[in-house]
Chain A
């Protein structure tokens, strides 16, 4: 919650998750899922106060360069190599209402498709000025933005010749722990999106399209950086009208 907001916190339960919209746990074309997928039915029940509540992250924890991946790992006066882009959008809930104060954390490969990670073995070069992580907190309208370089596609060991399309990973905290979400953003026009076994874990083409950020020509900064717009939707919550109050007793 931002300090200058006069809205009351919401205490309603979250809409049931539409599990058919998400990938199932077992998706054999993505091989690692085979031994990491629960096989029993999930235990379904309406959220309790343990899931309706969630941690709060204040704007004060965000450093000046946290939303600038071009510079937050670079040596002074230098910058990461690659196509300069701005990624921006809003975090909304299923009711279309902005989620303010949402913490977004993002991570990605560098412009050559190489991650800065000891388990990474791709032969593309490390960029000494690129770490690959950033974060932001949404404002009262649910807006966020960060600057980065466009990540490169890269091969990965799954099928003999599987490649990940260019993508940015997002981790999102809303207002309740039930809204916790990790996802990936893809880029408009990339033909590799439809070849990717991880993308194709999602059964519905419309759901996949929800992960593709369009080029946003209006927000593109002339002579500087192109913009992509990526809105994120978290679970909506019920109005508490007519519900038993949490404070109960």
Chain B
């Protein structure tokens, strides 16, 4: 016999189901008066530092059909590359920027959309800079465990080329599945859950 580790097992994930809006964005599905606002709707205010951008995208299933009942959440650092989190030990993030947003994919056009700021660079574990990116998490009916990926930016080609995570992608043509295309101040990244254009999802 030996000592025991006394580790617990993580609670298993289950699908968010078709009625996820009731719990996460009740005002969006016309349950009004319980919460003032849906959480994560507003990421910036007048004082938030940094370049204002719109980040949006759609989610397609394996038949190239729009997924209109998903919820997307994003998490990102401020314009100086600091996270508004107690575990951020490198400095204090912009108090006018939470860094977290939540948006359902639109029931008609399928878009999730965030009004946010361009994130600064943060370091990889070994100190190398990672290219500016936003963490994206997707849940929906039919998805048994939330899908993690990242949104990188098409106007950061130089930084993307040496990004430690993007460099880990073996099939190089798949790198672009994580790079949002810039059009003015709007960055668009479509997510493909499966098929030839399947997004690179992360076990991280």
User: A14–B101 Cα gap in the complex (Å)?
Assistant: 22
Residues of A within 8 A of B12 (CB): 21-23, 183, 202, 207-208, 210-211
By the criterion CB–CB under 8 Å, are A183 and B11 in contact?
yes
What residue in chain A is nearest B133 (Cβ atoms)?
A: A50
Q: Which of B177-204 contact A (CB under 8 A)?
A: 193-194, 198-204
By the criterion CB–CB under 8 Å, are A53 and B87 in contact?
yes
The interface bits of chain B over 22-50 (1 if a CB of A lies within 8 angstroms of the residue's CB, else 0) are: 11101001110111000100000000000
Once A33-B143, A36-B142, A36-B143 are accepted as A-B contacts, the answer to whether A211 and B11 lie under 8 Å apart by CB is yes
By the criterion CB–CB under 8 Å, are A11 and B10 in contact?
no
Q: Is A18 an interface residue (CB 8 A)?
A: yes
Q: Is B92 an interface residue (CB 8 A)?
A: no
User: A17–B145 Cα gap in the complex (Å)?
Assistant: 11
Residues of B within 8 A of A23 (CB): 12-14, 144-145
Chain A interfacial residues counted at CB < 8 A: 96
Q: Is A159 an interface residue (CB 8 A)?
A: no
B: which residues have CB within 8 A of A?
Answer: 6-24, 26, 29-31, 33-35, 39, 61-63, 65, 67, 69, 73, 75-77, 83-90, 98-100, 122-127, 130, 133, 135, 137, 139-148, 150, 165, 168-169, 174, 193-194, 198-204
A: which residues have CB within 8 A of B?
Answer: 1, 9-11, 13, 16-19, 21-25, 27, 30, 32-40, 42-57, 63, 65-66, 72-73, 92-96, 105-107, 115-120, 131-135, 169, 171, 175-178, 180-184, 198-199, 201-202, 206-208, 210-211, 232-236, 244-249
